[in-house]
Chain A
Amino acid sequence: MSLILLLTQQMCVYLVIVYLVSKTPLFKLFTEEAPRFPHKLFIYLVFSGFCIMATYFGEQTNDAIANTRAMGAVLGGLLGGPVTGFFVGLTGGLHRYSMGGFTDVACAISTTMEGLSAGLISHYLRSQGKRELIYSPVLVAMVTLYAELMQMALIMLIAKPYDQAWELVRQIAPPMLLVNSLGAAAFMSMIRDQKTMFDKLSSAFSAKALKIAERSVGLLSRGFNEETTAQVAQIIIEETKVGAVAITDRDKLLAFIGSGADHHIPGTPIASQITKDAIEQNKVMFADGVETPYACSISRQCKLGSSLVIPLRNDTEVIGTIKLYEPKNKLFLNINRTLGEGIARLLSNQILYGRVEQQQNLLTQTELKLLQAQVNPHFLFNALNTISAITRRNPDMARTLLQQLSQFLRINLKRTAGLVTLADELDHIDAYLNIEKARFIDRLRVEIDIPNELHKVRLPAFTLQPIIENAVKHGTSHMLDTGHIQVKGLQEGDEVVLSITDNAGLYPENPVEDPEQKGLGMNLVHKRIQNQFGCQYGIQVKCQPEQFTTVSIRIPLEEV
């Protein structure tokens, strides 16, 4: 009976150690999903240590040692696998052997066997996809029981003389079987509980973070102002349940929600020093209200007692802060601190994304404006000159041309970044070509051959016109002979190919790839088609110098 108590005492020492380890990051190493070498080494060291300690603390009984070594070997094998288990057992066994006694050989062999067999069981369970069973206390108890039975059998087989061995086993078997099994089970159940708690905690944390991310997505990319920040602050306070949430820009409070909202008024300048410091030093500031005192800088009646201030960054510079508060009667939870920093990073990214998107839009708008403006000066100038030249001889024609010019300009002004039908685009080039034809008369011939059924196809505004203008401006207008421009439309499967061919052959080989070339307009058309429809569409240029240039525009067959 006293032996049971002694061994139980010993076992308790281990359990205390495990409990302490479970409070450190090292604990994660016990529960690694697929143990790697460093983890196995850790497990080997810890459990070999347990084996050796067990031998030392063991109770001298009849020239042998009653002990809890089996616990170390079995747990090492279960957590580390067959190889680790074998070495844990071997180390514990060799150490036991060095202590001598008539059961030394039997104990050394049996400890090694215990480690190895527990390892094999663990390997079998893992390969069967029943990894969770390893952490089951019942299974651990059974495995330890079996291991100890094996040890007793080995002692009786190997230790001499037999009579003495039988006497020993009779004495130590019941306590060792009982304590080792119970101890190993308790040990494992501790590991399991810690693991479960850890998993639950991190999943709750992730869920919270994900929820905030999901709810706030896109809000700040619409702009960083009182309206959007108020919405974000509302979401954060709902999800984290902190006392209050504030968002500031560099100078003033943008949003404040929660306790103290009566005197923290959005729009007022930043009052607290720690916020100013956070902005200036680009650093997370934390006043927990215990070691670092926090007091509201506006009102003494304010209930808030601790504050976390996290800077919001826009790429490089701080553009504001987000602040989480807890009232004086509540502790600032560590989890909320981590979460706060995560939220700040999330919001910073959103703000940055919003800016990028805004700039992208601006760029497209500018490019379109440029495309529209590009048409104007020379073309307009030439058109006016032509009209001026014919006014005296042919006033009627002058009037017609003025009307056409006016129509062309009207379409140009009206156009937006959206899609138009091919018929619209053809009207546009018609107005354009009428003016160019008046300028060149017999030196320019244009044939347009696009089947009616393609007229409803949609394409970005300003797709055809710049290409045809290029064909005139950089192509046929440089010819001594008559210039021919052919515009064709063809349906190829579910795609439409519009081709513009001139007989000048004066384009550079690949203006699309060289934005410096005269392709500015063409390059832009190419990019806009790809943006709209995808990379398989766009512009291709074929040029045979002095013979022809063909620009092919590929777009999807997509009707209104």
Chain B
Amino acid sequence: MISCLIVDDEPFAREELADILEAAGDIQVIGQCSNAVEALQAIHKQKPDLVFLDIQMPRITGMEMIAMLDPDNMPRVVFVTAYDEYAIKAFENHAFDYLLKPVDEQRLAKTLDKLRKDLRPKDMTVIAPDSLEILPCYSGNRLKVVPVKDVEFVFSDLGGIHVATATSQVHTQMTLKLLEEKTPLVRCHRQYLIMPSAIREIVLLDTGAEVITPSGAKVPVSRRYLKSLKQMLGFQ
């Protein structure tokens, strides 16, 4: 059985696709999500083999969502789109799987045939955006979209990855490594990323240093990253 997740903001569209997929026999729909934030969480938790991903979704598009996925965690993705000419061209150029809405059953059958032969995830970097403007987050049950420019620092602990802005702290499913790659955040500690524009002061300590942010939060800097941080800010 191939486990599969359907991501689309329109309930009827999800249900219709789920119906067709169930009829195929060897596909098991393990979840449906109505937006990218929910989808990131679900992919993280349920690790589906296959994701049917709508491009046009609120706040975070399917494309942006791809950039937010850890490459190690990347499932095989089939894009579903209604009318994004630009995206369709990109899919064809890079031989990605895509379906047009409304979904044509014969076309879907062809795609599934192809997937049954080779379900290995594909490298999506060519079409996923290089940098992120927003981060999908949640606090408790609420989904939140945090603009990258508002972030002061990010850290990881046993509870997961935390994104701190001047006013709040929220969780995200993204990894520190991915955030370091796709945002201006820089590493200052094994467990911390700091936003260069949020460095107000650096207090030098025996063990390394401490950055003080505009909101007054203290972010540890390990000796290993202190030198590169200082260099980046223009200190010798």
Q: Are A389 and B12 in contact (CB under 8 A)?
A: yes
User: In the docked arrangement, what's the CA distance between A34 and B34, Å?
Assistant: 85
A439 to B10, Cβ gap below 8 A? yes
A23 CB–B CB distance under 8 Å: no
Query: Interface size bucket, A side?
Result: 20 to 34
- Dominant secondary structure of chain A at its interface with chain B: helix
A392 interface residue, CB < 8 Å from B?
Answer: yes
Least CB distance, B10 to chain A, in whole angstroms: 6
Query: How near does chain B come to A417, taking the closest CB pair, in angstroms?
Result: 30
Within 8 A of A (CB), among B126-166: 143, 145
| 0/1 interface trace, chain B 34-67, chain A, CB 8 Å (1 if under) | 1101000000000000000000001100000000
| Contact partners of B143 in chain A: CB under 8 A | 480-481
Is A94 part of the contact surface with B, judged by Cβ < 8 Å?
Answer: no
Which residues of A lie under 8 Å from residue B116 when comparing CB positions?
A: none
A398 to B110, CA, bound (A): 27
Proximity string of chain A (340-373) to chain B, C-beta cutoff 8 Å, 1 when within and 0 when not: 0000000000000000000000000000000000
Question: Among B15, B58, B102, which residue has its beta carbon within 8 angstroms of that of A478?
Answer: B58
* Nearest CB in chain A: distance from B8 CB, A: 10
Separation of A393 and B22 alpha carbons in the complex (Å): 14
B97 at the interface (CB under 8 A from A): no
Contacting residue for A480 out of B12, B82, B145, CB 8 A: B145
Contacts of B181 in A (CB 8 A): none
Residues of A within 8 A of B16 (CB): 388-390, 392-393
For B83, the chain A residues whose CB sits under 8 A away are 378, 381
Q: Which residues of B contact A390 (CB under 8 A)?
A: 12, 15-16
- Shortest CB distance A393–B (Å): 6
Known: A378-B83, A386-B13, A440-B10. A480 touches B102 (CB 8 A): no
Q: Considering the complex, give the chain A residue whose CB is closest to the CB of B58.
A: A478
Point out the residues of chain A lying under 8 angstroms from B58, CB to CB: 477-480
Complex-state Cα separation, A439 to B37, whole angstroms: 20
Q: Does B101 contact A (CB under 8 A)?
A: yes
Q: State in angstroms the CA–CA spacing of A155 and B15 once bound together.
A: 126
Residues of A within 8 A of B59 (CB): 478-480
Given A393-B15, A478-B58, A480-B37, A388–B102 Cβ distance below 8 Å? yes
B19→A392 contact, CB < 8 A = yes
CA distance A385 to B10 in the complex (A): 10
**Most B Cβ at <10 Å: residue of A384, A477, A479, A480:** A480
- Interface positions of A from 17 to 60, Cβ below 8 Å from B: none
Bound form: Cα–Cα A479–B59 in Å: 7
Nearest CB of chain A from residue B147's CB, rounded to whole Å: 10
A400 to chain B minimum Cβ distance, whole angstroms, is 13
Compute how far the CA of A463 lies from the CA of B58 in the bound complex, rounded to whole angstroms. Answer: 26
A443 at the interface (CB under 8 A from B): yes
| Inter-chain contact A385/B13, CB cutoff 8 Å | yes
- Contact call B35/A480, Cβ cutoff below 8 A: yes
Report the bound CA distance from A439 to B102 in whole Å: 13
Chain B proximity of A253: nearest CB distance (Å) = 55
The answer to whether A441 and B19 touch across the interface, beta carbons within 8 angstroms, is: no
- A residues within 8 A CB of B35? 480
B145 lies within 8 A of A389 (CB): no
Closest CB of chain A to B232's CB: distance in Å?
A: 32
- Chain B contacts for A438, CB-based, 8 A: 12
A382 interface contact, C-beta 8 A: yes
Task: Name the B residues within 8 Å of A440 (CB-CB).
Answer: 9-11
Contact in complex: A393, B19 (CB < 8 Å): yes
1/0 per residue, CB under 8 A from B, across A62-77: the answer is: 0000000000000000
- Contacting residue for B102 out of A384, A393, A442, A479, CB 8 A: A384
In the complex, residue of chain B having the shortest beta-carbon distance to the beta carbon of A439: B10
B78 CB → nearest A CB, Å = 17
Contact B15–A443 (Cβ < 8 Å) = no
Residues of chain A contacted by B10 (CB below 8 angstroms): 385-386, 389, 439-440
Which of the listed residues B12, B19, B37 has the most CB atoms from chain A within 10 Å of its own CB? B12
Expressed in whole angstroms, the Cα–Cα distance for A28 and B145 within the complex equals 83
**Is there an interface contact between A385 and B15, defined as CB atoms closer than 8 Å?**
no
Interface residues of A in 295-337 (CB under 8 A from B): none
Interface residues of B in 53-95 (CB under 8 A from A): 58-59, 82-83
A residues 392-449 touching B (CB-CB < 8 Å) = 392-393, 438-443
Residue of B nearest to A391 (CB): B16
Give Cα distance in the complex from A481 to B59, angstroms: 11
- Min CB distance A423 to B, Å, is 31
| A385 and B34 form a contact (CB under 8 A) | no
A293 to B148, CA, bound (A): 87
Instruction: Give chain A nearest CB distance to B80 CB in angstroms.
Output: 11
On whether the beta carbons of B19 and A386 are closer than 8 Å, the reply is no
A388 vs B10: C-alpha distance when bound (angstroms): 12
CB distance from A179 to the nearest CB of B (A): 102
Provide the residues of chain B in CB contact with A392, threshold 8 Å.
16, 19
Docked complex Cα distance between A390 and B11 (Å): 10
Which residues of the partner chain A approach B34 to less than 8 Å between Cβ atoms? Answer: 443
B13 in contact with A389 (CB, 8 Å): yes
Find out whether the CB atom of B102 lies under 8 angstroms from the CB atom of A389.
Answer: yes
A385 to B101 alpha-carbon distance, docked (Å): 7
Whether the Cβ atoms of B11 and A441 lie closer than 8 Å is yes
User: Would you give the shortest CB distance from A293 to chain B, in whole angstroms?
Assistant: 71
Q: Which residues of B contact A442 (CB under 8 A)?
A: 11
Which B residue's beta carbon lies closest to that of A384? B102
Which of A378, A389, A392, A477 lies at the interface centre, i.e. has the most chain B CB atoms within 10 A of its CB? A389
Q: How far is the CB of A521 from chain B (nearest CB, A)?
A: 19
Q: Which of B58, B101, B143 has the most chain A CB within a 10 Å cutoff?
A: B58
- Show the binding face of A for B, using Cβ within 8 Å: 378, 381-382, 384-386, 388-390, 392-393, 438-443, 477-481
A-B contact list, 28 entries, CB within 8 Å: A378-B83, A382-B82, A385-B10, A385-B13, A385-B101, A386-B13, A388-B16, A389-B10, A389-B102, A390-B12, A390-B15, A390-B16, A392-B16, A392-B19, A393-B15, A393-B16, A439-B10, A439-B12, A440-B10, A440-B11, A442-B11, A443-B9, A477-B9, A479-B58, A480-B37, A480-B58, A480-B59, A480-B143
Top 4 closest A-B pairs, CB basis? A388-B102, A389-B16, A389-B12, A478-B58
**Additional A-B contact list (17), CB under 8 Å, known A440-B11, A480-B59:** A384-B102, A385-B13, A385-B102, A386-B12, A386-B13, A389-B15, A389-B16, A390-B12, A390-B15, A441-B11, A441-B12, A443-B34, A477-B9, A477-B58, A478-B58, A479-B58, A480-B58
